[in-house]
């Protein structure tokens, strides 16, 4: 056995899983793609992501609390939908909770640094090419560069690549129409623009999707759009066409979907690798951290008490499915209220 | 690393391939009884200790008439010894005699499903077990009924006789890895209350519901259950604690299509925590009980453990910084304080969670010092009637047009569970510190009481109760696993809820399903404006992580083995078992989650806590003390969940005109309390189940008025302190009776002129929306007996003979006399107080209804009493 746990992916889910594993005394090896997130791209302009204040408490458990401060490019007090302002909440003393717009590369880098500092190993740049199976159980991975790494468990935190579920041909259950989300950054927005009238992000619904505007300091705004109409209209939102669009527009398939199951002997799927709900849920990073931590705890239980492995896996599968259902139903309700018909 | 671990995916693939395939993989006999002959040589050895216990049980059966009864009815000889006795136990019973006793009216065997006295490994299919454990088996020959410990011995004996290897084969268990030790709450139930309604069966859940009380536990042997009726007959108005019983089992991981689950088929689209997607989840099915003196564990002693906490008052400090006098921090109450710790917990090899009998509510202490808190200033958000409201909660489930359908159907809006109650939602503040103790705030006819409640700034005593949640587990260090294969040495604990008394112990939410509206049901109308019939058994939410380390959302599921059709049970019988409105003939009581209410706002038996993204079941958000919330829930048509008392008609006049819950499950005048000044109250006045009194009609200055209790002046916490709650009023009510009442109420609302409360004016004609106020209700036997007509004043229409004399009845048979009124609007600025807590409203219309389940006659009384009866 080369290592206790191989973790595919160095995003929030993978790092969270790695940290829980090493905190539990297991060896963890992160397979990080050739993605340049963790080095020079650090300083380039890229779309930021908005994270909920609840993320902080999870990061503190992971001893990675400073990741938010390291990556923050702005704060917000709530979400404005039409004329409705929905604050995130406030502390007992009445101070508003603040959400952060984060520079995702810096955030991931800080989280990865915390994982490495706590003893996780990393193989980078490296790509997983296949899973090693024995008696229908996952017992390790093969990599693009020809390595074979055996392990007690694989945690699939490969994000939108969804490596494990595809490789094992798990079924996918769908809860929405096919959805495309695309995101970009616009600059040179004047300070008197409506976006800067308060510290709220804007959510603008339309019958086939929505637009999300996350203003940052320095006249910059990350925007994200979602549509059930396919990719033909991948353009910046009308509100911002007068200004400069910066960098590439990135698009992704955001159809709400979950693999069934999300684990089997030798492998556990977490984060986007297990289930995707579109970014309006606003919980991509929260979900990644929570499910990465839970997956890792489940692996720790399976390894320390192998006689009860199917029972632990059943509990993870039950929990993850219920958690996904919760997000789907809440988003459906929210969309129904706003007249967004994507399911 | 062990590489033979394919079970998780193997079973997964099976489930996703389609449920119809699943059965093809099972053994032929999996459906469920092994039908081949059982030979003596097939039986597993039983330990001498268990054999001796069984012999003692046989001796008891002989002494108390049971042996003779079985001999007379079935030709069984229990006086045999040794192998001859064992052969007698396992032989196929004479099929004619078995059918005869099943068919015999009142025998209690009509829902028995087996064919032997003992079916090794399967107590529920063993006639001897059914005889002892079914509350429907009773005979004049029996001199006494068995105690729970005796039933426990028989359970153990039946399990002991069957080799574990055979059981694994029967349950199709390919690998020990699908097995785990787990604690379950369990009951043997007649077919009426099994998930499948096919036959009597053992029903299990990973959650048990014990209940608090003032008196010690009381086992009602003939009904084979614990009752909240105290053993001391002089204390019948009080409440005995009721325990939940737990056992430890080897359990198998299964998909939902391998067991029968207690389901309501009422899950609303959009509710993320319902049971609609059970097909995607895993459940645990008990396979084999573990017990003391069990050769399978080499005689290991089963050592149960429990851990419970009540954080209700502590969380007021943590989340709300409740300003406690002297800066004291309210304590977390623990098991030692809350639960019995002595031998009474052990029922043979099973375990009872028993609340320590105590006054229902008490002044909370910290290290002996009584706790007081400074009441905050009231605002719209921080007061609800005379309660302090700690949190804005909007996840109520109101009756409304279903936005998902276009044909004008109704539903209860979905609860999105987005307001976790991390501390008690409602706090009592009707008392204030006075010297070394406290007194009730003075309630006067003017508004000084309301002003005081709203102004706050006084020291209110903090009350505690014994409601808590926790876990029950088994110390596996003391168990010898040598013969258990590779089963893990961990034990999965059960979730244990210790909650409020059950005022309707004989009625549960499932009894009322057909009387509520829900997707998937044909019912077009409902009595319930708010809440409804949701049961905890259909909720899929993880238990409190502070007492139980799991994320599994299936803990409150209630299940049994998959049923089989029993050839000897007729279709008529099966229909009867599924009909909640038939007389069941026994005291129907249980401690599994199906008899418990689901989450409402905040909830009666349990509520949810946590953060928005991570919620879980917990009791910490229930009212402080619980009777504060009980009053509010009862006023809102039956505490939201259906199977709990309904005091809506006590308070109806004081509820908001645009948001006005009507009575859903009518209680009779005596049950809600008859005021001394009411027409029928002279000499017969009484207090209701909650210590309050109902409305009545009176004539003041030539005008007809209704005189009623104002919800903001009622004080059920004081009633609880005074011990004026009366459990005896409702304890004996059956589902048959309540269903009849609901049917009759519905019939009246359908016949009377439509009048909905303000915001629902245009909506359909149904009880849930009606403005008609049921001001008096009396049981009647129309045409056969006179009625008292206690709710009708003598001077309403001359002598009461026109309504009270049986000769004047317009309908015939058992039913009710219902009196409805419509009132003028509540004028908030000019309230007409009758005394310090009762008010008056002017009556605009008055309807008298003679109603039975078959017919109705009604008469409008106010605008000309000469109007004729209408039908």
Q: Does the structure show a pLDDT above 90 at A176?
A: yes
Distance CA B319, CA B322 (A): 8
pLDDT of residue B602: 67
Q: A135 and B490 in contact by Cβ < 8 A?
A: no
For a pLDDT cut of 90, what percent of chain A falls above it? 57
pLDDT of residue B863: 64
Name every chain B residue with its beta carbon within 8 A of the beta carbon of A52: 613
In terms of pLDDT, which residue wins out, A341 or B407?
Answer: A341
Name every chain A residue with its beta carbon within 8 A of the beta carbon of B414: 333
pLDDT of residue A62: 94
pLDDT of residue A244: 85
Q: Does the structure show a pLDDT above 90 at B252?
A: yes
Name every chain B residue with its beta carbon within 8 A of the beta carbon of A261: 8-9, 12
A171 inside 8 A of chain B by CB: yes
Option in B321, B492, B612 nearest A92 (CB): B321
A305 inside 8 A of chain B by CB: yes
pLDDT of residue B4: 42
For a pLDDT cut of 90, what percent of chain B falls above it? 75
A314 inside 8 A of chain B by CB: yes
Query: What integer is the mean pLDDT of A54-72?
Result: 90
In terms of pLDDT, which residue wins out, A76 or B119?
Answer: B119
Q: Tell me which of B8, B181, B277, B553 to substitute to probe the interface with A (most A C-beta atoms closer than 10 Å).
A: B8
pLDDT of residue A51: 83
Nearest C-alpha in B relative to A318: B281
Q: B277 and A134 in contact by Cβ < 8 A?
A: no
Distance CA B670, CA B664 (A): 17
Task: Tell me if B640 sits within 8 A of B597, measured CB to CB.
Answer: yes
Mode of pairing for the β-strands spanning A28-31 and A3-8? parallel
Q: A330 and B12 in contact by Cβ < 8 A?
A: no
Query: What integer is the mean pLDDT of B137-143?
Result: 97
Q: Tell me which of B6, B179, B273, B280 to substitute to probe the interface with A (most A C-beta atoms closer than 10 Å).
A: B280
> Across all residues in chain B, what is the average pLDDT?
90
Query: What integer is the mean pLDDT of A184-199?
Result: 88
Calculate how close chain A gets to B286, using CA atoms only, in Å: 14
Option in B4, B176, B490 nearest A135 (CB): B4
A83 inside 8 A of chain B by CB: no
Nearest partner of B432 among B501, B480, B489, B386, judged by Cα: B386
Q: A322 and B177 in contact by Cβ < 8 A?
A: no
Q: Does the structure show a pLDDT above 50 at B23?
A: no
pLDDT of residue A284: 84
A299 inside 8 A of chain B by CB: no
Phi, psi of B123 (to 5 degrees): -55, -40
Q: Does the structure show a pLDDT above 90 at A153?
A: yes
Distance CA B11, CA B22 (A): 9
pLDDT in tens, B84-124: 999 999 999 999 999 999 999 999 999 998 999 999 999 99
Calculate how close chain B gets to A34, using CA atoms only, in Å: 31
Query: What integer is the mean pLDDT of B173-199?
Result: 95
Option in A306, A318, A332 nearest B270 (CB): A332
Calculate how close chain B gets to A308, using CA atoms only, in Å: 5
Nearest C-alpha in B relative to A328: B272
Option in A283, A294, A311 nearest B180 (CB): A311
Q: B280 and A311 in contact by Cβ < 8 A?
A: no
Distance CA B329, CA B50 (A): 50
Nearest C-alpha in B relative to A1: B1
Q: Does the structure show a pLDDT above 90 at B71?
A: yes
A91 inside 8 A of chain B by CB: no
Q: Tell me which of A56, A174, A314 to substitute to probe the interface with B (most B C-beta atoms closer than 10 Å).
A: A314
pLDDT of residue B658: 74
Lowest mean pLDDT among A165-174, B375-384, B548-557, B629-638: B629-638
Distance CA A246, CA B402 (A): 46
* A287-323 b/e (C-beta count within 10 Å ≥ 16 → b): bbbbbbbbbbbbbbbbbeebbbbbbbbbbbbbbbbbb
Q: B277 and A325 in contact by Cβ < 8 A?
A: yes
Lowest mean pLDDT among A61-65, A179-183, B403-407, B629-633: B403-407
Instruction: Find residue B44's DSSP bridge partners.
Output: none
pLDDT of residue A230: 64
Option in B5, B282, B486 nearest A317 (CB): B282
Confidence class for position B598, pLDDT limits 50, 70, 90: confident
Assess: ipTM above 0.90. no
Query: What integer is the mean pLDDT of B586-612?
Result: 88
Query: What integer is the mean pLDDT of B27-34?
Result: 45
Q: Does the structure show a pLDDT above 60 at B9?
A: no
Nearest C-alpha in B relative to A133: B3
pLDDT in tens, B804-856: 999 999 999 999 999 999 998 887 778 899 999 999 999 999 999 999 999 99
Confidence class for position A38, pLDDT limits 50, 70, 90: very low
Option in B175, B271, B486 nearest A329 (CB): B271
A336 inside 8 A of chain B by CB: yes
Distance CA B238, CA B724 (A): 9
In terms of pLDDT, which residue wins out, A99 or A273?
Answer: A273
Query: What integer is the mean pLDDT of A121-134?
Result: 95
Q: A134 and B552 in contact by Cβ < 8 A?
A: no
Query: What integer is the mean pLDDT of B427-433?
Result: 97
Query: What integer is the mean pLDDT of B575-594?
Result: 93
Lowest mean pLDDT among A180-194, B219-233, B296-310, B839-853: A180-194
Nearest C-alpha in A relative to B253: A311
Distance CA B237, CA B501 (A): 12
Name every chain A residue with its beta carbon within 8 A of the beta carbon of B490: 305, 308
**Which residue is listed with tokens 């004008």?**
B408
Calculate how close chain A gets to B382, using CA atoms only, in Å: 15
pLDDT in tens, B379-394: 989 999 999 999 987 7
Q: Which two tokens stand for residue B400?
A: 């409304």
pLDDT of residue B60: 98
- DSSP letter at B530 equals B
CA B588, B592, B241 angle in degrees (round to 5)? 70
Nearest C-alpha in B relative to A287: B613
pLDDT of residue B651: 93
Confidence class for position B151, pLDDT limits 50, 70, 90: very high
Query: What integer is the mean pLDDT of A194-208?
Result: 88
Nearest C-alpha in A relative to B7: A310
Q: Tell me which of B1, B6, B612 to substitute to probe the interface with A (most A C-beta atoms closer than 10 Å).
A: B1
Confidence class for position B482, pLDDT limits 50, 70, 90: very high
Q: A307 and B487 in contact by Cβ < 8 A?
A: yes
Option in B176, B320, B553 nearest A319 (CB): B553
pLDDT of residue B32: 54
Distance CA B112, CA B125 (A): 7
Name every chain B residue with its beta carbon within 8 A of the beta carbon of A134: 3
Lowest mean pLDDT among A236-250, B310-324, B479-493, B741-755: A236-250
Residues in contact with B206: Cβ distance below 8 Å, sequence separation at least 6, in sequence order: B182, B183, B184, B185, B284, B492, B494, B495, B554, B555, B556, B557
Lowest mean pLDDT among B60-64, B518-522, B631-635: B518-522
Q: B418 and A330 in contact by Cβ < 8 A?
A: yes
For a pLDDT cut of 70, what percent of chain B falls above it? 94
Q: B614 and A290 in contact by Cβ < 8 A?
A: yes
């Amino acid at each position: 056995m080369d290592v206790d746990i191989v973790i595919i992916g160095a995003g929030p889910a993978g790092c969270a899983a790695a940290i829980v594993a090493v905190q539990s005394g297991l060896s963890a090896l992160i397979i990080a793609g050739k993605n340049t997130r963790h080095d020079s791209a650090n300083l380039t302009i890229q779309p930021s992501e908005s994270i909920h204040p609840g993320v902080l408490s999870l990061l503190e458990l992971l001893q990675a609390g400073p990741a938010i401060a390291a990556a923050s490019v702005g704060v917000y007090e709530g979400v404005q939908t039409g004329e409705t302002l929905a604050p995130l909440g406030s502390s007992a003393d009445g101070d508003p909770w603040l959400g952060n717009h984060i520079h995702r590369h810096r955030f991931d880098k800080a989280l990865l640094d915390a994982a490495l500092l706590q003893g996780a190993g990393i193989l980078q740049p490296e790509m997983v090419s296949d899973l090693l199976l024995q008696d229908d159980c996952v017992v390790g991975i093969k990599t693009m560069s020809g390595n074979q790494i055996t392990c007690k468990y694989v945690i699939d935190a490969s994000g939108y690549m969804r490596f494990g579920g595809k490789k094992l041909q798990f079924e996918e259950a769908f809860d929405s129409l096919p959805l495309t989300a695309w995101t970009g950054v616009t600059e040179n927005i004047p300070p008197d623009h409506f976006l800067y009238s308060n510290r709220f992000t804007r959510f603008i619904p339309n019958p086939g999707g929505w637009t999300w505007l996350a203003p940052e300091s320095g006249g910059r705004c990350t925007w994200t759009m979602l549509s059930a109409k396919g990719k033909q209209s991948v353009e910046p939102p009308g509100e911002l066409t007068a200004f400069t669009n910066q960098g590439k527009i990135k698009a992704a398939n955001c159809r709400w979907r979950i693999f069934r199951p999300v684990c089997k002997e030798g492998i556990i799927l977490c984060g986007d690798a297990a289930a995707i709900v579109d970014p309006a849920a606003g919980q991509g990073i929260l979900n990644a951290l929570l499910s990465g931590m839970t997956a890792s705890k489940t692996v720790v239980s399976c390894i320390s008490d192998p006689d009860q492995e199917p029972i632990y896996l059943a509990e993870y599968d039950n929990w993850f499915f219920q958690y996904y259902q919760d997000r789907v139903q809440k988003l459906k309700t929210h969309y129904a209220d706003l007249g967004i018909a994507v399911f | 690393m062990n590489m033979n671990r394919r079970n998780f995916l193997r079973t997964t693939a099976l489930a996703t391939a389609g449920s119809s395939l699943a059965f093809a993989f099972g053994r032929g006999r999996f459906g469920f009884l092994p039908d081949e002959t059982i030979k003596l040589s097939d039986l597993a050895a039983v330990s001498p200790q268990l054999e001796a216990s069984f012999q003692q049980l046989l001796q008891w059966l002989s002494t108390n008439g049971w042996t003779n009864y079985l001999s007379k009815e079935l030709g069984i000889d229990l006086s045999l010894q040794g192998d001859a006795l064992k052969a007698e136990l396992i032989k196929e019973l004479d099929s004619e005699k078995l059918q005869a006793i099943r068919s015999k009216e009142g025998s209690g065997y009509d829902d028995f499903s087996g064919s032997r006295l003992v079916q090794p490994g399967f107590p529920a299919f063993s006639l001897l077990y059914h005889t002892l454990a079914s509350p429907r088996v009773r005979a004049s020959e029996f001199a006494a009924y068995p105690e729970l410990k005796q039933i426990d011995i028989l359970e153990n004996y039946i399990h002991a006789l069957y080799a574990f290897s055979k059981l694994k084969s029967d349950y199709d268990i390919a690998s020990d890895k699908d097995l785990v030790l787990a604690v379950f709450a369990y009951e043997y139930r007649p077919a009426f209350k099994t998930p499948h309604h096919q036959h009597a069966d053992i029903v299990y859940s990973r959650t048990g519901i014990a209940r608090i009380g003032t008196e010690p536990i009381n086992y009602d042997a003939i009904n084979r259950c614990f009752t909240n009726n105290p053993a001391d007959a002089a204390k019948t108005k009080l409440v005995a604690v009721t325990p939940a019983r737990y056992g430890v089992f080897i359990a198998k991981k299964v998909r939902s299509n391998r067991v029968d689950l207690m389901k309501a088929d009422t899950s609303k689209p959009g509710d993320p925590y319902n049971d609609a997607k059970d097909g995607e989840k895993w459940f645990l099915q008990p396979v084999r009980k573990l017990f003391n003196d069990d050769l399978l564990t080499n005689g290991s002693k089963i050592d149960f453990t429990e851990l419970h906490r009540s954080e209700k008052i502590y969380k007021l400090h943590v989340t709300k910084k409740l300003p406690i006098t002297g800066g004291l921090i309210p304590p977390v109450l623990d098991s030692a304080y809350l639960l019995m710790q002595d031998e009474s917990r052990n029922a043979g090899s099973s375990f009872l969670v028993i609340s320590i009998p105590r006054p229902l509510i008490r002044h909370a202490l910290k290290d002996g010092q009584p706790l007081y808190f400074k009441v905050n200033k009231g605002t719209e958000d921080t007061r609800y009637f005379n309660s302090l409201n700690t949190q804005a909660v909007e996840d109520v489930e109101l009756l409304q047009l279903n936005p998902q359908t276009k044909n004008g159907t109704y539903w209860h809006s979905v609860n999105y569970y987005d307001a976790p109650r991390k501390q008690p939602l409602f706090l009592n503040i009707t008392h204030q510190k006075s010297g070394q103790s406290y007194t009730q705030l003075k309630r006067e006819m003017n508004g000084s009481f309301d002003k005081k409640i709203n102004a706050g700034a006084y020291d209110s005593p903090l009350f505690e109760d014994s409601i808590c949640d926790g876990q029950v587990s088994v110390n596996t260090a003391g168990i010898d696993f040598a013969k258990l294969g590779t089963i893990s040495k961990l034990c999965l604990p059960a979730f244990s809820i210790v909650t409020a008394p059950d005022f309707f112990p004989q009625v549960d939410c499932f009894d009322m399903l057909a009387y509520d509206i829900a997707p998937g049901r044909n019912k077009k109308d409902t009595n319930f404006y708010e809440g409804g019939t949701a049961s905890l058994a259909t909720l899929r939410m993880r238990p409190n992580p502070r007492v139980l380390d799991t994320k599994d959302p299936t803990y409150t599921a209630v299940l049994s083995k998959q049923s089989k059709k029993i050839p000897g049970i007729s279709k008529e019988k099966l229909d009867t078992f599924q009909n909640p409105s038939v007389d069941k003939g026994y005291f129907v009581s249980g401690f599994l989650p199906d008899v418990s209410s689901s989450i409402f706002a905040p909830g009666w038996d349990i509520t949810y806590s946590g953060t928005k993204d991570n919620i879980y079941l917990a009791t910490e958000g229930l009212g402080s003390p619980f009777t504060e919330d009980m009053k509010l829930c009862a006023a809102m048509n039956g505490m939201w969940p259906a199977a709990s008392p309904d005091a809506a008609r006590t308070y109806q006049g004081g509820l908001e005109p645009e948001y006005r819950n009507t009575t859903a499950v009518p209680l009779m005048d005596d049950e809600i309390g008859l005021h001394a000044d009411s027409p029928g109250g002279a000499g017969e006045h009484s207090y209701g189940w909650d210590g309050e009194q109902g409305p009545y009609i009176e004539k003041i200055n030539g005008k007809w008025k209704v005189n009623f209790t104002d919800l903001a002046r009622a004080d059920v916490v004081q009633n609880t302190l005074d011990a004026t709650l009366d459990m005896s009023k409702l304890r004996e009510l059956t589902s048959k009776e309540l269903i009849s009442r609901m049917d009759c109420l519905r019939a009246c609302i359908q016949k009377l002129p439509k009048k909905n409360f303000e915001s629902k004016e245009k909506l359909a004609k149904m009880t849930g929306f009606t403005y008609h106020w049921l001001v008096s209700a009396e049981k009647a036997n129309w045409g056969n007996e006179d009625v008292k007509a206690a709710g009708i004043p003598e001077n309403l229409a001359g002598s009461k003979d026109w309504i009270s004399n049986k000769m004047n009845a317009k309908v015939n048979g058992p039913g009710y006399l219902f009196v409805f009124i419509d009132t003028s609007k509540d004028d908030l600025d000019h309230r007409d107080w009758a005394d310090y807590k009762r008010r008056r409203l002017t009556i605009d219309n008055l309807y008298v209804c003679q109603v039975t389940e078959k017919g109705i006659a009604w008469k409008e009384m106010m605008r000309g009493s000469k109007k004729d009866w209408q039908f």
